[in-house]
Amino acid sequence: MLANDLQQQMVNYVNAPARDQLRYEAFLEFFDNEEPEMDDYLWDRFMDWFLFDYYCEGKGGKPVILQFREERDARLDERSRELLERWEQAVISLYEVVDIEAGRSVTLKDLLRGGRYVVLDEEITTNVEKKSLLVTRLLPVRKEYRFSMGATILPPFFKSPLLKEIRSDYREFLEYMEEGVEAGWDAYLREWGFEIDAMVDHLAEDLPASENQNEPSLSPRVEEFLRDLMLDEYYRRWIDKPMSALEGRTPREVIRSEAGRQRVEKVLRNMAAQGGREETGDGPAYNVVKLRKMLGLSRTGGLIRADRYPWTAQEYGKVAKIVEVNLEKAGFTPEQVANAIRLWYDFTEKERPRFRKPEVWAAAVIYTSARIEFDHSFTQQGLADRFGVASNGISNNYSRIRETLRLEAFDNRYCTLEPPVEGIEEFLAWLLH
């Protein structure tokens, strides 16, 4: 099989004596200058990262897989060259098993970027069940996919704590990005995706070792995690709670103007002075820095403006600009505006819609973004009146966007809100078994 042969050629390439020094430098970087007790699983994790994510000569150099393709280009046939070009885009991600065809394949859902993928692998079908989680890199082969170097398989109750850790790490990644530099999930997974396995290791140390323990005890880290989950849920509701300090309006409503943002900032400063509590002293103490992030007040770096995208048609750029201007006027945060533009870009890359009136699609994108952020101030009829278009056109386009991108509540790709405590009932039931 061509894909098998090509992967073996890549492994032989990096294991050649001529690349001993390169491999050694990568080894030190991956393991942070430590010398771990090596096993096949750990070695495969390193080799996967080395082949696909490691840059020769630092960030100014090329990924190993690209260097391999360029050096072997004269000896590659067209099919091999096409496969390698597609593999160069592959990143590690977190997947959930949604379907199993015994003895043939599994269908995986990407929990971070969306999308579903059929993976041909007879052995994996006997090792997973529906809702099992996999940390892996998928390589496209025709219309299906294959695993790069196996996968880390996790039980379903890891979903909520692991997603929480990944989202926190993703926000930290965005803080590091410079203004105007592309910073979506693909960029994060390319640069920091290898750390997901480390998160799994840390969680595994804290969770009880077996479902069959008679008296599983909670480590301090797990207890802290559960407290954070409850606080996240409490303050997710707080964002939409009318406050006397804001004249009966909610924080999320008020931040839509510059003056309103300053008033909310004052409320948050007062909370910080009260040790994270509201002025009344009611409710639990909370990390005000985290609350600012939930409101979208913490950053503008790493966000791409509409005119920075490589639109495949001029009309798509016009739609993006209309969306950007109107959401900014409506008081959406910079991150929310950037997410709306990213949503439109992702849709046009998949669907390539054709139209004469950009306002119809702009209204649909605005409506979609508002729905994702649970903002009910925009209605289809209200947007139709504002842009002078038919409301049924907005409705049809909204449905196309939702179905094409497989949008979900609190979608990681486009939503700034913390999700509710997803899967916590199952997680707690296991802990308290």
Query: What class does CATH assign to 306-405?
Result: mainly alpha
Q: Are 183 and 174 within 8 A, CB to CB?
A: yes
Angle formed at CA 48 by CA 46 and CA 51, multiple of 5 degrees: 105
Residue type, 342: R
pLDDT at 333: 77
Q: Are 380 and 366 within 8 A, CB to CB?
A: no
- Exposure string over 298-318, b if 16+ CB within 10 A, otherwise e: bbeebbbebeebebeeebbbb
pLDDT at 35: 66
Could you list the beta-strand ranges (E) of 46-181. Answer: 92-101, 105-110, 116-120, 133-141, 144-147, 152-154
Low-confidence stretches of the chain (pLDDT beneath 70): 1, 32-36, 58-60, 178-183, 205-236, 276-287, 290, 294, 296, 298-302, 417-433
pLDDT at 234: 66
pLDDT at 228: 64
For residue 228, the SS3 value is helix
Please determine, looking at this structure, whether the domain spanning 92-154 carries the CATH number 2.40.50. yes
